[in-house]
Amino acid sequence: MKLFDRARPFVPTRDQTRLARPDRRLFLRGGLVAAGGLALGGCDLSDNARTESVLSGFSRLNDRLQAALFDSQRLAPTFGVSDITPDFPFNAYYPASRIRVIDGASWRLELAGLVADRAPWTLDRLRALPQEGQITRHVCVEGWSAIGQWSGVLFRTFLERIGADLTARYVRFDCGDDYWTSIDMPSALHPQTILALDYAGAPLPPKYGFPVKLRIPTKLGFKNPKHIMAITVTNDYPGGYWEDQGYNWFSGL
């Protein structure tokens, strides 16, 4: 089912993709060491089918280990206003010149999957729900981090309001910049996971994901989708833009 009309997608050239995405093999290697103390010492990380198969298998194992270790009540560190990074960086799979501008007046958040009430939501309706704020660190897989101030709707509150099946396995996000990703339900229900509507006390600017961004400080930055247009609750593995290219799916911190 087509959930929304997308603008013409930005298709990066081979060189742009190489610049935009971190080295997958190094990412998997680092993730394995962090999650389970596993190392590929002595393994030739050249681009061949055998290496890719081994890394993919370890990546799946890494996902299972991280999911098993995840504590739904353990909070990510929070910070003070003085700790906020000046000019919080823009990051996406495309350059800043291709930032999408979405009309908030006509925007509707569409819902699908294991949800009792699939009526689309407007920005005004989201803002009428109780708002939560946080100053947390965004950690990018490319090796940098920044602290920002976000506020919006606790995602658990939203899922309960729409009658989502909270025992489902996954939540998928489709975005206005042709990005998509997905998270596990325990992470969706974490007390710091929000649908962010504001940054630093003002509506999100386009570069930070207007009209709605998922802010989930317990995961790496690429699991924080911007310009959210549709949410699907499902038991079928949804994958994601980077995940379908071999990156760790769980990607917890």
In tens, the pLDDT along 196-214 reads 999 999 999 999 999 999 9
Q: How far apart are CA 50 and CA 219, in angstroms?
A: 29
Tell me whether residue 43 is exposed, middle or buried, using C-beta atoms within 10 angstroms of its C-beta: 0 to 12, 13 to 18, 19 or more. middle
Beta bridge partners of 203: 198
Q: Which of 246, 219, 194, 203 is nearest to 76 (CA)?
A: 219
Q: Which of 215, 219, 232 is nearest to 110 (CA)?
A: 232
- The predicted pLDDT at position 253 comes to 85
Give backbone dihedrals phi and psi of 205, rounded to 5 degrees, phi first. -75, 160
- The predicted pLDDT at position 146 comes to 98
**For the chain, what's the residue count?**
253
**Is the pLDDT confidence value at 236 over 90?**
yes
What residues contact 196, with CB distance under 8 A and at least 6 apart? 150, 151, 152, 204, 209, 212, 213, 214, 215
Q: Which residue has the higher pLDDT, 7 or 134?
A: 134
- The predicted pLDDT at position 1 comes to 41
Beta bridge partners of 145: 139
pLDDT tens digits for range 81-115: 999 999 999 999 999 999 999 999 999 999 999 99
- The predicted pLDDT at position 71 comes to 67
Domains of the chain from N-terminus onward: 12-69 (no CATH), 74-245 (3.90.420.10)
- The predicted pLDDT at position 65 comes to 57
- The predicted pLDDT at position 73 comes to 78
230 within 8 A of 112, measured Cβ to Cβ: yes
Q: For residue 235, how many other CB atoms are within 10 A of its CB?
A: 13
Beta pairing class for 110-113 and 228-234: parallel
**Which bin fits 82, alpha (ψ -120 to 50), beta or left (φ > 0)?**
alpha
pTM score: 0.78
Q: Which helix (H) or strand (E) holds 182?
A: strand 180-184
Instruction: Evaluate the CA torsion angle 38, 63, 217, 12 in order and state its sign.
Output: positive
218 within 8 A of 187, measured Cβ to Cβ: yes
